[in-house]
């Protein structure tokens, strides 16, 4: 299976270069576990979802600690049939996901969010889950939405997406659980997300 993300960071400050470069240093602990390639538009990260999602969380939480308004756009994908299998992307959660009833997957997802450590950084995030190539895809999406509403990070539903708010730790853990526990284990699942912190717009 191939699991990866394209990540773009947008600091709203004159020192955007410094913010981006300092933010990328948060990826250093993950460079042995992930394939990381950065160009002038985005950073590609490929690898198992544990370090992958930890790296994305730490990247955004790190830059969000500063005073500047910062936004991040991420496209997450697992199981894309157009990408080669990559042994570094192995994930035990995916191998058992479809052997568990939906209610059990929801219970495990909620437990993981509850146990997520706090980062001390408040963020907003909205995302859309796309389950592709599955006849029962809406059952998986509705199951994910039900989990989100009980997660403690749910803010509201929007057209085409769901809005989350809270500490970056539980918010990104909610995202991780949505990505791993909903949709077929061997199917193609993607998430499109935008995160924001320190926005001057009223909350």
Residue ranges of the annotated binding site for thiamine are 9, 43
- Angle (deg, nearest 10), helices 102-115 and 137-150: 30
* CA-closest candidate to residue 20, choices 30, 10, 35: 10
Annotate 11-27 with b (16+ C-beta within 10 A) or e (fewer): beeeeeeebbeebbebb
User: Annotated binding site, which residues?
Assistant: 9, 43
In angstroms, the CA 99 to CA 194 distance is: 31
């Amino acid at each position: 299976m191939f699991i990866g993300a394209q990540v773009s960071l947008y600091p709203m400050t004159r020192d955007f270069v410094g913010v981006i470069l300092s933010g990328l240093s948060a990826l250093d602990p993950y460079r042995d576990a992930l394939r990381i390639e950065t160009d002038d538009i985005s950073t590609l990260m490929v690898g198992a979802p544990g370090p992958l999602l930890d790296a994305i969380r730490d990247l955004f939480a790190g830059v969000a600690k500063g005073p500047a308004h910062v936004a991040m756009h991420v496209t997450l994908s697992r199981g894309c049939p157009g990408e080669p299998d990559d042994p570094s992307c192995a994930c035990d959660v995916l191998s058992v996901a479809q052997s568990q009833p939906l209610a059990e997957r929801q219970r495990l997802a909620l437990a993981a969010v509850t146990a997520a450590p706090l980062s001390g950084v408040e963020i907003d995030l909205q995302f859309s889950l796309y389950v592709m190539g599955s006849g029962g895809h809406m059952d998986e999406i509705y199951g994910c939405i039900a989990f989100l509403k009980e997660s403690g990070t749910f803010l509201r539903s929007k057209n085409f997406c769901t809005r989350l708010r809270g500490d970056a730790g539980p918010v990104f853990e909610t995202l991780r659980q949505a990505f791993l526990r909903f949709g077929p284990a061997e199917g193609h699942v993607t998430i499109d997300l935008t995160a924001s912190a320190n926005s001057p717009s009223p909350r």
